[in-house]
Structure formats: structure tokens, C-alpha cells
Amino acid sequence: MSKKRVLIVYYSFSGQTQLLIQRLVCGLEQSNHEVVTERLQPVDQLPFPFTSWAMMAKVMVYSFFRWRVPVNQVNDIVYEKWDLVIIAGPTWSYSPSGPVLAFLDKYGRDLCEGTTIVPFISCRSYWRTHYWGLKFILNKLGGKVTRPIVYLHCSSEPWRTIGLFLQLMGKLPRLESSWFRRRYPRYGHSKEQCADALEQGKMMVNRLMSKGDMGK
Ligand SMILES: Cc1cc2nc3c(=O)[nH]c(=O)nc-3n(C[C@H](O)[C@H](O)[C@H](O)COP(=O)(O)O)c2cc1C
């Protein structure tokens, strides 16, 4: 199969999207495709962990209303031709994250028009409205949107939700043997999910080509 050019634009607040994207990139590169990644950087960095519960609540409420978080200028890659573009990031209050929305406002038209776009989502558990919202925006920008790649946090409820809040506030007990950590061994995604992202990277171009989804 001929070598394809793949661009991955992503935002990661607490490192989970980045973790998965690193594996996805390995998979794509092992399949001999050219991959360029661009990590979005907010102009004013949000502190991780949040410095107060009020700040976390504010970001969550604002995000619910599709708050835009301005990002630093990206380089000219957005004006180049790509066979495939992956737009990746976390779900924030049932929506795409603020930096991804701001990026699409600014560069979306140039990047998306006529291009195959794969939404890639990292979230605790609710991703559908994020996907529908993103798909709507990308379609409007002229992109050819495929099915999303979605990873949910690996722990079970209610620990998954409690653990997320504690992690976002930097208050997750460190001791692996603690009462809570026995029920919630890790924040975010598992090793198996990372391995799956690698496999997705190896297969995705083939899969999209066989469906005739790729190419301008
Ligand atoms: C402000 C904020 C809002 C969030 N809202 C949701 C949500 O509505 N649904 C969900 O499943 N996860 C939600 N999460 C959890 C993130 O989507 C999840 O932790 C994701 O794995 C983080 O990816 P990242 O580390 O790349 O930022 C939220 C996280 C933050 C910081």
C-alpha cells in the first residue's frame, strides 16, 4: 500500500489523550506512513491539577457552553495536503475541549475541506454528544468525518467519577495499597487500551481505504 500522510492535531490536559496518541503514532509509523503531530497549547495554560474546586467547577460549567480556549499559533501544516487528519482530545462537559474548538474556529476551514477526518476521544464515560458536536462542526467545515475512535477510563463506577475529580484536584491518594486505590488502581486508560491504540494505528489506514473513505 502506498505511503499516506497523516496529521494528528490533539489537545491533552491531564495526559491521557497524549498517552494514547503516542501509541497510535507508533502503529501508524510501523505501517510505514508519514505522521506529523501537533499538540495544541493554550495561550494561557490551565493549571493541572486545578488550584481550587471553584476553578474546576468554572471550567466544567464554561465547557458545557462550548467555551473556546485560545491556542497558540500552529505552524503551516494546516495548509498542507493530508490523506488523513486525526482530531484528538478529551471530552469536557459533554463537548469537545475548549482548545480543540478554538483551533477549529481558526484553522478548521483550511484543514478540513475535502479531507478525511477521524475524531479521537479520550473520556471518563460520556462521549456521544462530544462526537455529535464535533462531527457537526467538521461537516460544516467540509470534512469527511469517519466513525470515531473512543477510549473510556478503565475503572468501574462510582470510583471512576470520584477518581477523576480527585485526580483533577491533585488529591488522588498516592499509596497503591490505600483503601481507595485498591478500588481505583489508576486514573484514565489502561495498558491494554494503549496496546489497542497501537493496533488501531497499524490498521486504520487500511481499514479506511478498504471502505473507500480516504483521499480527496
Ligand atoms: C473540565 C473537564 C470536564 C470533563 N467532562 C467530562 C464529561 O463530560 N464526560 C466524560 O466522560 N469525561 C469528562 N472529563 C474527563 C476527561 O474527558 C478525561 O479525564 C480524559 O481522559 C482526559 O483526557 P486528557 O488527559 O487528554 O485531557 C472532563 C474533564 C475535565 C478536565
pLDDT score recorded for residue 215: 53
pLDDT score recorded for residue 38: 97
Q: Which ligand 1 atom sits nearest the alpha carbon of residue 91?
A: 17
The mean per-residue pLDDT over the stretch 191-199 comes to 98
pLDDT > 90? residue 206: no
What percent of the chain has a predicted confidence (pLDDT) above 90? 90
Domain ranges, ordered by start, for the chain: 5-153+190-210, 155-187
pLDDT > 80? residue 122: yes
pLDDT score recorded for residue 210: 81
- Using the mean position of ligand 1's atoms as its centre, give its distance from the Cα of residue 172 in Å: 16
Is the distance from the beta carbon of residue 136 to the nearest atom of ligand 1 less than 6 Å?
Answer: no
Q: Which ligand 1 atom sits nearest the alpha carbon of residue 126?
A: 11
pLDDT score recorded for residue 58: 98
The mean per-residue pLDDT over the stretch 139-146 comes to 97
Is the distance from the beta carbon of residue 93 to the nearest atom of ligand 1 less than 6 Å?
Answer: yes
- Using the mean position of ligand 1's atoms as its centre, give its distance from the Cα of residue 35 in Å: 26
- Using the mean position of ligand 1's atoms as its centre, give its distance from the Cα of residue 151 in Å: 11
Q: Which of 48, 93, 95 to mutate to test the pocket of ligand 1 (most atoms within 8 A of CB)?
A: 93
pLDDT > 70? residue 60: yes
The per-residue pLDDT for range 154-181, each reduced to its tens digit, is 999 999 999 999 999 999 998 878 999 9
The per-residue pLDDT for range 94-110, each reduced to its tens digit, is 999 999 999 999 999 99
Homologous superfamily of 5-153+190-210: Flavodoxin domain (3.40.50.360)
Three-state secondary structure readout of the chain: CCCCEEEEEECCCCCHHHHHHHHHHHHHHHCCCEEEEEECCECCCCCCCCCCHHHHHHHHHHHHCCCCCCECCCCHHHHCCCCEEEEEEEEECCEECHHHHHHHHHHHHHHHCCCEEEEEEEECCCCHHHHHHHHHHHHHCCCEECCCEEEECCCCCCHHHHHHHHHHCCCCCCCCCCHHHHHCCCCCCCHHHHHHHHHHHHHHHHHHHHCCCCCC
- Using the mean position of ligand 1's atoms as its centre, give its distance from the Cα of residue 2 in Å: 36
Q: Which ligand 1 atom sits nearest the alpha carbon of residue 94?
A: 8
Lowest-pLDDT range, 23-32, 127-136, 203-212?
203-212
The mean per-residue pLDDT over the stretch 36-54 comes to 97
What is the average pLDDT value for the chain, to the nearest integer? 95
The mean per-residue pLDDT over the stretch 210-216 comes to 68
pLDDT > 90? residue 211: no
Is the distance from the beta carbon of residue 17 to the nearest atom of ligand 1 less than 6 Å?
Answer: yes
